[in-house]
Amino acid sequence: MDCKNCGSAKIIKKGKVNGQQRYLCKDCGKTFIDNDNFTAMRNKKQVIAFAMDLYYEGMSIRKIERQIQYLFKVKVSSVAIYKWINKYSTLTKNYTDTLKADLGDIWHVDETVIKIKGENKWFWEIIDERTRFMVAEHLSNTRTIKDSKILFKDARNRTIRKPRIIYADGCFAYPKGFNLHFGDRNRTCRLIQNVGINGRVHQNMVERLHGTLKDMMRARRGMDQMDKTGTMLDGWFVFYNFLRPHSSLGGKTPAEAAGIKLDLTDRWESLIDLATQWEVNNL
């Protein structure tokens, strides 16, 4: 038996809780019970992973609640499901942000309007043309140079090497963010703007990504705050890159196409287990 938190084999018995044996890990110092649950969770990991998957496939929390009761014969409140989504979206995003992607030479950057409590907000993203990997994403109240700098900084930190070209529309905010994090005297990476959706060079790829995002968001309720929506978008970023196969990639996920090798046989279950071990090891 290994520790559920860090994977160490250095464990000892540490009393019982409600008749169940508790163990102590000598490496990470955490206690756990040997059951089929994520750490400190009462519900089985299959139930939580199932809820995460349905949520990011676009199902509402109320419908997920009914599906869990029907398939697993357990009653879980919508509040509990929302807490799972919030907790594990943040955990897996923090973990996957540490993984470097081997991307192609051409990227596309764009932004789109999303509604939060009836107000326009901006969702920015950069996507790699070869792997379909979403390199970076950013949610903002504004459409400014500051937001562009945040987006390009995130993209630079995530990738192994710079692309040759980044295509964009005519947004005034892009050049300064690009120059700060990707520009150099030799122009090894170029920003090409005023790219449309109908020309020889187009932004159809990111427009399709926007459509996928907005389809998923139609079933979302309670997205009336920036932090709630930001957490949901973090989880969707993880789902899109690491768990959602693409037909254009021969059934691979963007992460697989980008050379990120993870054993995600059990999808959210596997990813949450990996992220939990990473968190414990980096405390």
pLDDT tens track for 178-187: 999 999 888 8
Q: What pLDDT shows up at residue 198? A: 52
79-93 mean pLDDT: 95
Q: Do residues 137 and 123 share a domain?
A: yes
Q: What pLDDT shows up at residue 280? A: 82
Residue 221 domain-assigned (yes or no): yes
Reported as a pLDDT band with limits 50, 70 and 90, residue 195 is: low
pLDDT (tens digit per residue) in 123-143: 999 999 999 999 999 999 999
Q: Do residues 58 and 41 share a domain?
A: yes
Q: Do residues 31 and 123 share a domain?
A: no
Between 48 and 197, where is the model more confident?
48
Range of the domain at 43: 36-97+264-281
Rounded CA gap, 136 and 88, in Å? 19
Q: What pLDDT shows up at residue 196? A: 56
pLDDT at position 229 over 60: yes
Q: Do residues 116 and 200 share a domain?
A: yes
Q: Are 206 and 108 in contact (CB under 8 A)?
A: yes
Phi, psi of 17 (to 5 degrees): -130, 115
211-235 mean pLDDT: 81
List the one residue out of 141, 190, 144, 146 whose CA is nearest residue 168: 190
Number of domains in the chain: 3
Between 53 and 205, where is the model more confident?
53
Q: What pLDDT shows up at residue 222? A: 53
List the one residue out of 53, 38, 58, 52 whose CA is nearest residue 82: 52
Q: What pLDDT shows up at residue 35? A: 65
Residue 242 domain-assigned (yes or no): no
CATH of residue 140's domain is 3.30.420.10
Q: Do residues 225 and 115 share a domain?
A: yes
Q: Do residues 119 and 54 share a domain?
A: no
Q: Do residues 204 and 110 share a domain?
A: yes
Q: Do residues 161 and 82 share a domain?
A: no
187-214 mean pLDDT: 78
Q: What pLDDT shows up at residue 56? A: 93
Q: What pLDDT shows up at residue 86? A: 94
Collect all residues with Cβ–Cβ distance below 8 Å to 282 and sequence separation of at least 6.
Answer: none
Q: Do residues 125 and 222 share a domain?
A: yes
Order the strands of the 31-33 sheet from edge to edge: 11-17, 20-25, 31-33
Rounded CA gap, 191 and 179, in Å? 9
- pTM, whole model, 2 decimals? 0.85
